A = this chain, B = another copy of it.
């Protein structure tokens, strides 16, 4: 069917070795023969079979990518960055998204390993207790984590400092005068970074003597945010005036739910997200958030991985800077004074059915 190196060799009247040398630029070949070979290649439409090559060379020039979800722009952007860097380094991507399913994580990695990708870039649910990662370490499969929270084990990682960012959110909210705050987070078991953000948040709150936040863990695919929020806001005057959401998608859903519950953002409750996805700036109110340099993180991950593949020494963990973007969704806490005063806003609220 499609031409092989043998066909080319025959037509050019040389041996396959010479063709291989020309194609790969390894070893010299006389200009005259080179021309004959090039001719043969173009008339036969020869395209080197990478799988044959890979079998022999024991590397595939393919990188495996495993992320939780394609539908979250933060990951899409990360992949875009990986793609960009990988391409320019001559690598191709093999890709899977797991839809936040831990079992699927394992299947995906296993499949990729079957293809003998040269390395993996992944965002896993819980790197601390990951049998997958343990297996990769054992088998000496090169990988780098992206977005996962770096831990004492110092697995190769590109991330932001989620804990510090969580603290920053606490600072910001307190500075805006919020006394009672809450957090709506994706399941910690499905996201170590959500857990890290929470940890920083709670820690700083405690440090500054604020009461601990109400925390609600939800599925990353939560459909019915109203049912999650309603209970928080039916209890007496203790409802949080600001909500930290572990990612922007959640924050957007929360803002929608709040509005259906007849709360105004930020007047009644402030909301701050995490990620800094592009659409956040187009929302109304614009979304307050911690922005991560997603595309850059992807690039950095690809570069780190390929550097390791090339045997270059690389720092295990790269922390990229995050920045707090104070959008309109986070505002001053409602005029605080007495508890009674808080109830003045009660009229605007409605106990959900």
CB of A71 within 8 A of CB of B60, answer no
Measured between alpha carbons, how far is A238 from B241 in the docked complex, in Å? 48
**A125 interfacial contact with B, CB 8 Å:** no
CB of B76 within 8 A of CB of A92, answer no
CB of A95 within 8 A of CB of B71, answer no
CB of A47 within 8 A of CB of B95, answer no
Q: Name the segment of A105-113, A142-150, A192-200 touching the other chain.
A: A105-113
**A48 interfacial contact with B, CB 8 Å:** yes
**A133 interfacial contact with B, CB 8 Å:** no
CB of B62 within 8 A of CB of A70, answer no
Say how far A84's CB is from chain B's closest CB, in angstroms: 8
CB of B96 within 8 A of CB of A94, answer no
**A28 interfacial contact with B, CB 8 Å:** no
**A252 interfacial contact with B, CB 8 Å:** yes
Which chain B residue lies CB-closest to A115? B50
Point out the residues of chain B lying under 8 angstroms from A80, CB to CB.
69-71, 97, 99
Point out the residues of chain B lying under 8 angstroms from A283, CB to CB.
279, 282-284
Q: Which of A143-198 contact B (CB under 8 A)?
A: none
CB within 8 A of A93: which of B52, B77, B96?
B96
CB of A255 within 8 A of CB of B282, answer yes
Measured between alpha carbons, how far is A111 from B92 in the docked complex, in Å? 8
CB of B71 within 8 A of CB of A71, answer no
Measured between alpha carbons, how far is A65 from B92 in the docked complex, in Å? 11
CB of B54 within 8 A of CB of A51, answer yes
- Count the copies: 2
Point out the residues of chain B lying under 8 angstroms from A140, CB to CB.
1
Known: A51-B54, A55-B55, A139-B45. A115 touches B92 (CB 8 A): yes
> Which 5 pairs show the lowest CB-CB distances between chains A and B?
A284-B284, A70-B80, A95-B95, A76-B76, A279-B279
CB of A114 within 8 A of CB of B49, answer yes
Measured between alpha carbons, how far is A2 from B60 in the docked complex, in Å? 15
Interface pairs (8), CB distance under 8 Å: A50-B114, A70-B77, A70-B79, A95-B95, A252-B279, A252-B282, A255-B282, A282-B283
**A212 interfacial contact with B, CB 8 Å:** no
CB within 8 A of A73: which of B71, B84, B110?
B71
**A336 interfacial contact with B, CB 8 Å:** no
**A262 interfacial contact with B, CB 8 Å:** no
Q: Which of A261-279 contact B (CB under 8 A)?
A: 278-279
Point out the residues of chain B lying under 8 angstroms from A77, CB to CB.
70-71
Point out the residues of chain B lying under 8 angstroms from A139, CB to CB.
2, 45
Measured between alpha carbons, how far is A326 from B80 in the docked complex, in Å? 31
CB of A62 within 8 A of CB of B115, answer yes
Known: A45-B139, A62-B94, A73-B71. A116 touches B51 (CB 8 A): yes
**A87 interfacial contact with B, CB 8 Å:** yes
Say how far A203's CB is from chain B's closest CB, in angstroms: 31
Measured between alpha carbons, how far is A110 from B99 in the docked complex, in Å? 30
CB of A87 within 8 A of CB of B95, answer no
CB of B92 within 8 A of CB of A93, answer no
